[in-house]
Structure 1
Amino acid sequence: MFEIQNYGSFLAAIIVFQLIPGPGTLAIVNATARNGVGAGMAAVVGTLLGDLVYMVAALAGLAAVMHAHPALFQGLQWSGAAYLAWIGLQLLLRPAAGAPLATETRKRAGVYFRQAFAVSLTNPKVVLFFVAFFPLFLRADASSVTLGAMMLHVTLLSLLYQAALVLVGNAVARQLSALPFARRLATRLAGAALVGFGVKLALDNR
């Protein structure tokens, strides 16, 4: 669909990555816990905007590589599959961490927007992720429409998940912070899923 290879795996991988707590997720949960839904949604917009900047940069570079060096693009696909599996192994092996959130005085939503935007832009793993992730679902002759469709999918699914996190997930997350077993289980399941994605996509791209 939309000339995206392995479309079902593409959607599933985006969802799995959204479920892995990262700096952006923590910024959103933190803003919501401290100053409510308005602050949380402002953090969502900041995170999405930062991700969009990296997506545009990653896809602009990938588009040039796809058309000029098809063999190099295939190498990127293999590297991306290996990177997905490596992230999964890291999640399987590392301890799950988390701490209760503190309270503070109210701030304007714009403060949390700027904080989340800065967190997203200063996380170098974001651009590395997009450079590794997108080639797994692209053909070397993919058009700019396909690239735009991929960006739109990532943005919309991220918006849906992060908005839900603000509206209902924050209360659950605060409860889970006191349940180390639940955090460990969620982390291990996400890690196993990513290793599986890496292996499957490497086989599909042979």
Structure 2
Amino acid sequence: MLGVTDYGAFVIAFIVLLAIPGPGNFALITSTGKGGIKGGLASTFGIIFGDQALMWLAVAGVAALLAAYPAAFNAMQWLGAAYLAWLGGKMLLSKPGDAPALEIKPKHFMRQTLLITLLNPKAIIFYMAFLPLFVDPARHQGLVTFGFLAVTVAVLTFAYGLIVTLFTHTLAERLRSIPAVTRSLEKLAGFCLIGFGIKLVISR
């Protein structure tokens, strides 16, 4: 199919990867809890735009460039870790009467998840290693093949984000009547974001 081999396996593998807990997932859940369905969908589009940029950078050979210049790779890792830690710290230090750690405006949610996605240079390496597994060398059609995979990634990410957003929004509506639970979940999200930032640095 357009130079793609075992398309069904590609879809299943990517869905599994989407479901793995990570900073993007926690940002999506937090955005929905703070901004409702609009916030969750905006966050989803931030992830989609970030993934598309990283995927095409990988196709263009940026992974090889990062491998040739380790300092650039490390700098991006530190920047990404610092951003995650900053978001997590705002959640941990906020008080019940404070303004939300994340502004309740869709564009802010999209910008934050976009930055979280883009500031993970390992994603470029991942795409560089993952995509070739499903490309048929004998039937490869260049940009058409990778474009087909890119569209698939975008559609699957949107579907996943929509499901998570609707589920989280329904759950959040019930939890808003219990402030203590809401605060505990925000603290947990803050700890997780800081933890992902630390992991990004120590796993170099």
2:113 paired with 1:110: no
Structure-1 separation of matches of 2:18 and 2:163: 12
* Equivalent residue pairs, number: 141
Equivalence for 2:42: 42
Equivalence for 1:164: 163
Q: Equivalent residues in 2 for 1:1-206 (5 A)?
A: 1-61=1-61, 105=100, 107-141=104-138, 142-143=140-141, 144-169=143-168
State the Cα deviation string for residues 20-40 of structure 1 (Å, max 9, x = none): 111111111111112211111
Note the residue ranges of structure 2 that are not aligned, 5 or more in a row: 63-90, 176-183, 185-204
Corresponding residue SS for 1:2:
coil
Could you say what the CA RMSD is over the residues aligned between the two structures, in angstroms? 3.0
Structure-2 separation of matches of 1:40 and 1:160: 12
Q: Do the aligned residues in 1 keep the contact of 2:3 with 2:137 (CA within 8 Å)? A: no
Structure-2 separation of matches of 1:57 and 1:172: 37
Shift of 1:139: 2.4
Corresponding residue SS for 1:3:
coil
Corresponding residue SS for 1:5:
coil
Question: CA distance change for structure 1 residues 20 and 46 in 2, over 3 Å: closer, same or farther?
Answer: same
Q: Do the aligned residues in 1 keep the contact of 2:2 with 2:148 (CA within 8 Å)? A: yes
State the Cα deviation string for residues 41-70 of structure 1 (Å, max 9, x = none): 1111111101110111112239xxxxxxxx
Q: Do the aligned residues in 1 keep the contact of 2:32 with 2:168 (CA within 8 Å)? A: no
Identity of matched residues, %: 33
Structure 1 residue identity aligned to 2:21: P
Structure-2 separation of matches of 1:164 and 1:157: 11
What TM-score comes out, normalization by structure 1 length?
Answer: 0.60
State the Cα deviation string for residues 120-145 of structure 1 (Å, max 9, x = none): 11012211211111010112341121
Equivalence for 2:191: none
Shift of 1:172: 6.0
- After TM superposition, the runs of 4+ consecutive aligned structure 1 residues lying more than 4 A away are 100-104, 169-175
Structure-1 separation of matches of 2:2 and 2:121: 29
